Amino acid sequence: MNVFDLQTFLQQFFDHVDLVGDGDVAITGPARIEQASKGNVTFVANEKYSKYISTTKASLLIVSRQMPVDQYSDRLTFLKVKDPYTAFVFILKKFAAPRRLASPGIAPTAVVGSNVSMGSNVSIGDYAVIGDGCTIGDNAIIAPHCVLMDGVSLGDGCMLFPHVVCYDAVRIGNRVTLHSGVVIGADGFGFAPQSDGSYIKIPQMGIVEIGDDVEVGANTTIDRATMGSTVVEHGAKIDNLVQIGHNCRIGNDTVIASQTGVSGSVSIGSQCMIGGQVGMAGHLSLADHTQVAAKAGITKSFTRPGQVLRGYPAQTMKEQLRQEVLIRNLDRMKTRLKELEAEFESIRNGENPSLSL
C-alpha cells in the first residue's frame, strides 16, 4: 500500500484530502509519532505533538489543512484533512487485524437451549450457554464462556467477549460490543428497610434495553429495572468498571468514563460527557450536552443543556472555580483579618492616637 492508496481511502470520508510530497511512498502500518519508523503513517491533531514533526522517522503524517508543512516536504509526505484525529481512526481500522473471538458456527461444547432463534453466520464459542427462547441476530459473535439467560434478544452484528453475562429478557440492539466481564440485567439494589433494622428484597421485575451501536467496557454492570426498563440509548459508549443502577436512562451518544457510579433512576441526556470516578445520587437528571469533570459528585439535577460541572458537590465550572480561588486565598485573608483585629484593638485601647474610632 502506498500514500496514493491511503489518499483514495480517506476521500471516502472527507471532501478534501490534499497530498504534499511523494504519493508513491510505501506504507506498512500506523504508529505513534514518537516511535514511528520508515513505512509508518502517523498523525498530528494536538499542537503539543507538532514538535515531533522535525524528528519523526515516519513516512507519512496526517495533519490538519491549516498546518504549514512545506518546510518538511523534502523529507516527509503529508495528507492534509479537516480532522486528522478522525482520519487516523479510519486508518487504524483499515490496518487492524480482525479479532478471533469464536470459530464460525456453534462450538461442540456450547449449550443451546430450546426455541432459540438464530440468524445466519452466528458464531458461538466453547462453553457458552444460550438459554431457552433467546433470539440471536445475523453475524453475531458470542465468545467462550458467555451466558445468555432465558429470553435474551441479541441484534445483528453484536460482539460479546468472553465471560459476558446477560440476565433473562435483556434486549440488545444491533452492532453492540460487550467486553469481558460485562453483566447486563443483574438485580438492581432494591431493599425495603424494616423497623427492626432488617431489609426485605424488592423484586426486580423489569429489564435492560440497549440500543444500536453501543459499546460497554470490561467489568461494567448495568442493572435491570425494578419495573419497566433500564435504557442505554443508541451510540452510547461506556468505559470499564462503570456501575449503572436500576431504572436509569443513558441518552444517545453519551460517553461515560471508568469507575463512574450512577445511582438508580438517574436520567442522563444525549451527547453528555461524564469523566472518570463521577458519583451520582439517585433520582436526578442531567440535560443534553452536559459535561462532568472527573471525580465530581452530582447531588442534584442540572436541567439546562450544555453546562460544564465540576467539584463536590458539583457546580457549574464558573462557580466552582470562583470558590477554589476563595479557598486558595483563605490563609492570606486570615492573616489580614488578624492584622485588622490587632489594629482595631490598638485604636480602642488608645495606643494609636493618630487613628480614632
- Are residue 267 and residue 202 in the same domain, yes or no? yes
Supply the pLDDT for residue 352: 61
Strands 141-142 and 159-160 come out as: parallel
- Are residue 211 and residue 305 in the same domain, yes or no? yes
Give the distance, in angstroms, between the CA of residue 350 and the centroid of all CA atoms in the same chain: 67
Provide the 3-class DSSP secondary structure of residue 349. Answer: coil
- Are residue 60 and residue 143 in the same domain, yes or no? no
In a domain? residue 109 = yes
Report the CATH number at residue 256.
2.160.10.10
Cα(105)–Cα(286) distance, integer angstroms: 43
In a domain? residue 100 = no
- Are residue 270 and residue 337 in the same domain, yes or no? no
- Are residue 199 and residue 89 in the same domain, yes or no? no
Out of 16, 163, 179, 246, the active site residue is: 246
Cα(264)–Cα(246) distance, integer angstroms: 5
Q: Which of 53, 76, 95 is the last residue of a domain?
A: 95
In a domain? residue 215 = yes
Supply the pLDDT for residue 213: 98
Give the residues across from 247 on adjacent strands: none
Q: Using CA atoms in the order 320, 325, 331, 334, what is the torsion angle rounded to 10 degrees?
A: -80
Residue 234 falls in the annotated catalytic set: no
- Are residue 45 and residue 172 in the same domain, yes or no? no
What H or E segment, with its residue span, contains residue 148? strand 147-148
pTM: 0.87
Supply the pLDDT for residue 343: 83
- Are residue 237 and residue 357 in the same domain, yes or no? no
In a domain? residue 265 = yes
Supply the pLDDT for residue 348: 79
- Are residue 211 and residue 346 in the same domain, yes or no? no
For residues 235 and 212, the answer to whether their CB atoms sit within 8 Å is: yes
Structural domain count of the chain = 3
- Are residue 62 and residue 125 in the same domain, yes or no? no
C-alpha angle with apex 263: 258 to 257, nearest 5 degrees?
15
- Are residue 167 and residue 308 in the same domain, yes or no? yes
- Are residue 78 and residue 179 in the same domain, yes or no? no
Q: Supply 161's cell numbers.
A: 467477549
- Are residue 176 and residue 305 in the same domain, yes or no? yes
In a domain? residue 278 = yes
- How far apart, in Å, are the Cα atoms of 309 and each of 139, 274, 276, 291? 41, 10, 13, 6
Average pLDDT per run of 10 along the chain, which is 357 residues long?
94 95 95 95 91 93 92 91 96 91 95 97 98 98 98 98 98 98 97 96 97 98 97 98 98 98 98 97 97 96 96 87 82 87 81 57
Supply the pLDDT for residue 339: 85
Range of the domain at 354: 327-357
For residues 65 and 125, the answer to whether their CB atoms sit within 8 Å is: no
In a domain? residue 171 = yes
What H or E segment, with its residue span, contains residue 106? strand 105-106
For residues 208 and 226, the answer to whether their CB atoms sit within 8 Å is: no
* Total Cβ atoms within 10 A of residue 244: 28
For residues 217 and 242, the answer to whether their CB atoms sit within 8 Å is: yes
Residues 6+ apart with CB under 8 A from 335: none
Report the CATH number at residue 12.
3.40.1390.10
- How far apart, in Å, are the Cα atoms of 322 and each of 8, 309, 317? 50, 13, 8
